[in-house]
Amino acid sequence: MKANSEISLMKGNEALAEAALRAGMQAYFGYPITPQSEILEYLAVHGTKRGAVILQAESELAAINMVYGAAGAGARVMISSSSPGISLMQEGISYMASAEIPFLIVNVQRGGPGLGTIQPSQGDYFQATKGGGHGDYRLIVLAPASVQEMADFVFDGFRLAEKYRVGTMILADGALGQMMEKVVQPPMGSLPLAEKPWATAGKPPSRERNILTSLFIQPEKMEEVNLKLQRKYREIQSEVRYEAIQVEDADIILVAFGLAARISQKALELARHKGIRVGLVRPITLYPFPSAILSQIALSAEAFLVVEMNAGQMLEDVELAVRGEKPVHFKGRMGGMLPSPEEVLREIESIAAVHAANSELIS
Amino acid sequence: MSTLVDDLLNQTRTAEQAKYTSKDFQSDQDVRWCPGCGDYSILAQTQRVMPDLGIPKHKVVFVSGIGCSSRFPYYMDTYGFHSIHGRATAIASGIKMARPDLSVWVVTGDGDGMSIGGNHLIHLLRRNLNIKVLLFNNQIYGLTKGQYSPTSELGKVTKSTPYGSIDYPFNPASLALGASSTFVARTMDRDPKHLQAILKRAADHRGTAFVEVYQNCNVFNDGAFFQFTEKESKDDNVVFLEDGKPLVFGKERDKGIRLNGFSPEVVSLKDGKWSVNDLLVHNEKDTTLSFILADMTYKPSLPRPVGIFLAINRPTYEEEMTRQISFAKEKRGEGDMSKLLNSGETWVIN
């Protein structure tokens, strides 16, 4: 363990695990799955001796329900897995959304569907941002693009989860989990534990007993619960975060998150070098989605290019934000394959060529 | 009573008595386990036993979940199904109910079958479908590179238990017996003859056959079973269960197991106090005895029991299912879908 503020070289998975301990995580439940087993392994070594409960469950199903129990009892809890394991957890996530349990879940994505591959992917965007399990609920979804953000977003994740009593997901991928970069860890214990008067942690004489449930048989009551959740999700819209790079003068706007944003940023540099004015919008919160900035940019830019490591999932949210104002193109690779900056550049060049031809026709 | 299911199986066996060798069951895939893995032996013994079963290759299907053992179906030149973590037993159940004429084999491990698959496994065992379950037990998660499994011993230091495991391990044989399995056996990767004999018996059993195979993971848990599998220590640490025979073991065959009340204990046959006549005699049909024998497993003062704990007959699920369908047809007549849809309160809207 490195001292506060010291720069260290860490794997993304390990940086995230170390950050969780510094953020005061009290319990972690997991199950081995590539490419995120290092989170469990790091915590098993470093978490146990720092007083955290670290448990390898018999399955992801058991693990997520241990989270339900521990977080319901008021503990600050994290769980992590990779895509197939996250699918297994959807039942528990839906129940916790209804029961308003705060927790942090990490998905180090791999290519699917099915057992798929252990290579990095962004194929779980829909599942992460649109619900995943049954019923009308949302998770706050944070998309890191560096090892530093793998660490930083743990703090944001716990803070947001506890502020709104929702689940927060860190949506990473196998490459971010496995690659090593320098990281400055946030100082230990800088995220104070809030009071959780709703938790099932013993009944003081001062209040009624707490019962956590997601069962509301009467439809009137169930609708009330849903309306409350929806009010909360509207409030969460104020937490939107994104990074905008060289968008001011840009004709073509790249939109990409996570690892795809890093690839896109390299493509941006290559394109700028060739004199094509390209900008990049990197959504950091995938839910709430930064629609407003995209709607605004749609007024000035000529075209959008969405770059993802999937078949076009965030693409739909970009199209909704742009509302047909400008053409939205897509470049994606699937199944664990990464788009190269050169591939993205070629796409930019062909969009620029069409744009130039159109401009000539008009003038 | 001969049922439709028996007829189907018998047809399978007799109609095409192909003459196979073990080579016929080797697929064209490169076998990719770590060099020295115990899985190679289990694969080889299975391929050796298959020709003796008289089942045409195209009537055989191997189903696996996720884990090192689950690569097995790629290497058998039969039908195969590499399925979902822990779900192989449920998927195999579906296959067997849709196609009772197929010979269905499940290959699983202590991770796949005892953790997330534990629930499906016990329900397969109580239903008693005619499916063969081979559980490769290496007491570690190999595929994810060395975390503890549900059969890892207490105190086991692994990547996810750096201070030692505090989870008490399952004893797969006891678990299977507790789930009312009709056939429960244990064998070892490094005893090819015994392994072949057990596979043959499992194949011949009518109902779910549960076979635990001790398997050495030479990379992440090397030597976990060496005291039971290696020449120098095997005779003194293993008691082989043989139907109708007293439980004798030891290099000099000078030790035995006798029952003291319900508790097995080791006695010496050398000092004249006990003779072979005092020893426990194995009976594969005795369910009570099977529990006592399986319970010897983690007791350090007792040798490890290896062999068939239990082999009894109970109607298989597919037999009962076929019988129930025939009964329903007999009682209510052959079903007619359009008649059903037009019965009761129906209206014609003009």
Per-residue pLDDT for A1 more than 60? no
Rounded Cα distance, B1 and B34, in Å: 48
Structural tokens at position A238: 């104020």
10 Å Cβ neighbour count for A361? 7
Chain A contact for B122, CB < 8 A?
A: no
- Residues of A near B (Cβ–Cβ under 8 Å) read 31-34, 37, 40-41, 44-45, 48, 56, 58-61, 84, 88, 115
Identify the three-state secondary structure at position A182. strand
Q: Note the pLDDT of residue A322.
A: 98
The amino acid present at B35, given as its one-letter code, is: P
Give the residue extent of every domain in chain A.
6-197+207-238, 242-362
Q: Are residues B152 and B257 in the same domain?
A: no
CA-based Rg of chain A, rounded to a whole angstrom?
A: 21
Q: Is the residue at B347 inside a domain?
A: no
CA B80 to chain centroid, in Å, comes to: 18
Q: Residue B297: is it exposed, middle or buried by C-beta count within 10 angstroms (0-12/13-18/19+)?
A: middle
- The reported pLDDT for the residue numbered A189 is 83
**Do both B108 and B170 map to the same domain?**
yes
Determine the Cα angle at A321 with ends A317 and A325, to 5°: 125
pLDDT digits (tens, 9 = 90+) for B333-342: 888 888 888 8
Across residues A122-136, what is the average pLDDT? 96
Domain shared by B201 and B265, yes or no: no
Please tell me whether residue B218 adopts helix, strand or coil conformation. coil
Q: Residue A59 and residue B116: Cβ atoms within 8 Å?
A: yes
Q: Is residue B130 part of a domain?
A: yes
Closest residue, chain A, to B115 (C-alpha): A58
pLDDT by residue (tens digit) across A187-242?
Answer: 888 899 888 999 998 888 888 899 999 999 999 999 999 999 999 999 999 999 99
Q: Are residues B210 and B100 in the same domain?
A: yes
Q: pLDDT-derived band of residue A2, with 50, 70 and 90 as boundaries?
A: very low
Instruction: Assign B15 a pLDDT band (cuts: 50, 70, 90).
Output: very low
- Residue A41 tokens read as 């392994």
Residues B192 and B274 in one domain: no
* Paired sense of beta strands B304-311 and B183-188, if any: antiparallel
CB atoms within 10 A of CB B27: 14
Instruction: Phi first, then psi: give them for residue B221, nearest 5 degrees.
Output: -155, 50
pLDDT at A188: 87
Q: What is the pLDDT of residues B191-249, one digit of tens each?
A: 999 999 999 999 999 999 999 999 999 999 999 999 999 999 999 999 999 999 999 99
Nearest residue of chain A to residue B170 (CA atoms): A58
Containing domain of residue B329, as a range?
A: 4-243+283-334
Pick the CATH number of A6-197+207-238 from 1.10.3230.20, 3.10.580.10, 3.40.50.970, 3.40.50.300: 3.40.50.970
Q: Return the bridge partners of A186, or none.
A: none
Q: Any idea which fold A242-362 has?
A: Rossmann fold (3.40.50)
Q: In the 8-state DSSP scheme, what is residue A237?
A: G
Q: Which residue's entry shows tokens 């299975």?
A: B46
CA distance B144 to B230: 27
Whole-number Å distance between alpha carbons of A326 and A77: 43
Cβ–Cβ below 8 Å for B147 and A37: yes
Question: Above 60 in pLDDT, residue A87?
Answer: yes
CATH of the domain at B33: 3.40.50.970
Asked if the structure places residue B187 within a domain, the reply is yes
In this prediction, residue B1 carries a pLDDT of 39
Searching chain B, which residue's CA lies closest to the CA of residue A57?
B115
Which of the four pLDDT bands, split at 50, 70 and 90, describes residue B8?
low
Q: From the CA atom positions of chain B, what is the Rg in Å?
A: 23
Give the phi and the psi of residue A110 in degrees, each rounded to 5.
-130, 165
Do B74 and B80 contact (CB within 8 A), yes or no?
yes
Domain total in chain B: 2
Predicted TM-score (pTM) of this structure: 0.93
Q: What local confidence, expressed as pLDDT, does residue B61 receive?
A: 98
- Residue type (1 letter), B181: S
Q: Say whether both B126 and B149 belong to one domain.
A: yes
Q: Are residues B123 and B10 in the same domain?
A: yes
Average of pLDDT values for A52-64? 97
Fold matches, A6-197+207-238 and A242-362:
yes
Helix (H) or strand (E) run with residue B256 in it: strand B255-260
Please give the ipTM for the structure prediction: 0.90
pLDDT tens string A65-84: 999 999 999 999 999 999 99
Residue B74 contacts A, CB cutoff 8 Å: no
B157 and B260 fall within a common domain: no
Residue A147: φ, ψ to 5°: -65, -35
Evaluate if residue A162 carries a pLDDT over 70: yes
What span, in angstroms and rounded, lies between the C-alpha atoms of A291 and B88?
A: 44
Does residue B290 sit within a domain? yes
Q: How far apart are CA B239 and CA B216, in angstroms?
A: 19
Confidence category of residue A6, pLDDT binned at 50, 70, 90: confident
How distant is the Cα of A35 from the closest Cα of chain B, in angstroms?
9
